[in-house]
Amino acid sequence: MNELEKYLDINVELFVGGTVLKVEALRQLKPYDIVKVEKSVSELIELRVSGKTIANGELVIDGDKFGVKIHHVFAR
């Protein structure tokens, strides 16, 4: 790691899953509705940087926050 890398911030996104909705269904969403994703709760989620998956792991609860317990880190 070079000196500059110590000070750079990078946005990391957690990708849990996705689904396909008809426009009509999307427009009818209201508070407390549930949108199911195609991934099961036992599947690993992805950590992404600039849309590229860099690691995966399981979603966990740490106090009152979500976290990710890393299982695999992909090539750097």
Determine the Cα–Cα distance for residues 1 and 23; give it in Å rounded to an integer.
46
Domain ranges of the chain: 3-73
Strand, coil or helix: 23: helix
Mean pLDDT of the chain: 92
Q: What is the model's pLDDT at position 71?
A: 97
Mean local confidence (pLDDT), 61-66: 93
Of 42, 76, 74, 75, residue with least CA distance to 55: 74
- pTM reported for the whole predicted model: 0.74
We find that the CATH architecture of domain 3-73 is Roll (2.30)
* Res 15 pLDDT > 90: yes
